[in-house]
Structure 1
Amino acid sequence: MPKDYNIVVNDCASPPVLGLTHLRTRATPYGGRNFTSSFQDIIGGLPERLTPIQQDWLHILTSIFAADVASKRGAGDDWSRRIQLWIGVREPDHWKPLKPQIELVFKSLTYDQFAVTFVADPDAPPTPRQDREAFPRADSVALVSGGIDSLTGAARLLDLHRTPLFISHQNSGAVSDALQAVDEGLARIGQHAGRRSFTAQKEGIDGTESSQRSRSLLYMGVACLAAACLDISDVYLNENGIMAINVPLTPARIGSFSTHTCNPTIVYDVAKIAGQALGWTGTIHNIIVTSTKPEVVLEAATLGLRDVLPKTVSCWQIGRTRRHCGYCVPCLIRQISFEHAGLSDTSHEIYPLDTIPNGGIRQQTAIDNVTHLAAHVLALSQSDEFELELDFTEIINCDGQLTRRQSMDMHYRWAEQCLSVLERHPHSAHLLGR
């Protein structure tokens, strides 16, 4: 059964439902703030002060992300949620026609039921001021997360003599350290328009949800706003094609158990909504979408970032610990990719391709993840093209970012690369019957 959440932002409405959750991005007469965000590092460098609609856009994105964080998932059949959200905005008539598209993107990202209601906010905060010199001239906006993929995509842009403005969502010490290393590495490759960060995080909310599937909507939406204000048509959200398309490892992982943060269809839909909302006529690109993770790692090394790669972050738990766990799917893919590229990486807590730790939740999670990954890539390698389309339909759902042929070839290469590493390690080789 889906869990029900009825959420009101900044006490903007009093809907006739039981069990309301109150999220406050600012203090109101009814309570103090419990979710904080700051976009001033970005807003301050824009050429003009934000319009009411642009301010609404940031508030809507923040409120949706806050609702995701505040709606704790259950286990098993209680994993999915029904979320009703009320948001106060300055221009409700502008946002009501966009309600279906916004709901659809959230549902596509999270696989939850979601409904949003826009109401008038008579107490909306004033327009923030510009408090710094304007950004240097840029020809694009690129998102940089502290991970390998966004690092490599940014480096490729610089190598192509583009001048991007980099934007980051900074929410933990480990990510901050990684971003500092990324900054230093990119500075060696070429000139850019700088990197600016925003924050959006809980402040005193109990029982928060860690999956945060809607984070990329906030991430892309902020970049589209910056691009619209700077009259830039190109936004880049770069992720390797395997994780962007992200075919579920097993049928049990279909839905919100598998992330869709850079899925080509969702990226297209977010750009379309941003265009309708902001009058922006641009595109969100992924310039490494035809590359596997090992190929992305190797490209970064070729571009002179070999020393930066171990300082990047990949782990799902990196916001809660400064060390890679080693057993989540991104950690496993990272271990395989570094080994296939012949590069040294940072240390991981465990290495389940070799041995599984005894006891605790790590044991079963590590067993499941390695088993599912091994079975998945083995099935990919043994499937002909007809079987790929039939059994792994996401492979051909690319919405113009890459062709059917490119996607199939990339998945075949990934299966070969992954198997070549799994066969070298005792535990994973045993699972493959080697």
Structure 2
Amino acid sequence: MRTAEPRSTARQLAPPSPTAGVDAVRWPDVAAPAKASAVTTAVTAAVLRRTFERLPLRVRFPDGTTAGLGGPVLDIHDSKAFHRRIGAQGLIGFGESYMAGEWDAPDLVAVLTVLAANAAELIPAPLQRLRALWALRRPRTQRNTPAGARANISRHYDLSNDLFALFLDDTLTYSAALFRALPADRSLLVAAQHRKIDRLLDLADVGEGTRLLEIGTGWGELALRAAARGAHVTSLTLSHEQRDLALRRVAEAGLADRVRIDLCDYREAGGTYDAVVSVEMIEAVGAEYWPEYFRTLEARLAPGGRAVLQAITMPHERMLASRNTFTWIQKYIFPGGLLPSVEAVAETVRDHTDLRIARRDGYGAHYAETLRLWRERFTERADEVAALGFDDVFRRMWTLYLAYSEAGFRAGYLDVQQYLLTKENPAR
């Protein structure tokens, strides 16, 4: 089985008494978490209880006491371990505590939605001001240099094509769908993914003879639909697994003469294109490389060309506060990842290119619904996930990831944008 096996980032490991049932080799920081002193653990418990008392939650502790204003239930099964982990590593500890089974929730999304909606107030203001002192710093090994980006992408997208196929729809599209109405039935997901892709291609004015560059192939559905319109597509990916399957799908569709898929970093791309499309790939670029990413879009576009992006965004002030810290998502799900803000995209485009943002549309509620459908399917097919060799900790990790993401969109903390960027034609 190919699964994420993050190196231990704990400042100090507890004695080797792994949590029952946790593979200490595969999950070192779940089995033997970072130690926090008795004082830190006690302070963490007191701070969290005061925080819970202000939230519309019902937090149940193993001693029978409760906290909160009432609402979705959060069950803490091991208070000492829960507080020790969070005291030592903050939100990374919160996620690892769930992976270890130390807390749970009958409605996980509802609990996480409350937390996401109150994200800016979860940590007391004095501690927020001292964030640089206590927050873990992002490892330099996760920088998205050309070599680092390949390693980061492989950690997620090369897990297993079969795993992704278990919870995605038949298009194998791993980005927000666009529904006609919400809530949506699972049977409508394929049509909603095609609606999203077609809208992106329409924005990019892709048609017969269009020279299209796609940055981030996924499993090839956008390239297939563009080629079916008569476009000539060059698609770039860093995932061996995705490229292999996408090439098979292109061949089976009889479109190999119109689609080329290269194992190539966006910075290494050449050529000139009428249009560039990049769907939820900027999240893997990293803030220090955003200028280079947008300069690449500009360089690859012919005069008069169009670049279309789909991007997940977060509030600007939260992005600034967390851009240099190490998060649970970065450690276990998307190493090197960082969500931009709408303001950061606008500033980068303005300050580093001559591109113009001609249009921006947000539809975060549709991503929440997409994630719900993926999460429910992932849960229903847990036995098949296990049959692929992914253990209980992995399945809890991915359940938390999907629920955490859905909650972010339901709370409005996260959004997803479709951008149209244009390159003026100097000849006009």
Flag whether TM exceeds 0.5 (same fold).
no
Q: TM-score, normalised by structure 2?
A: 0.30
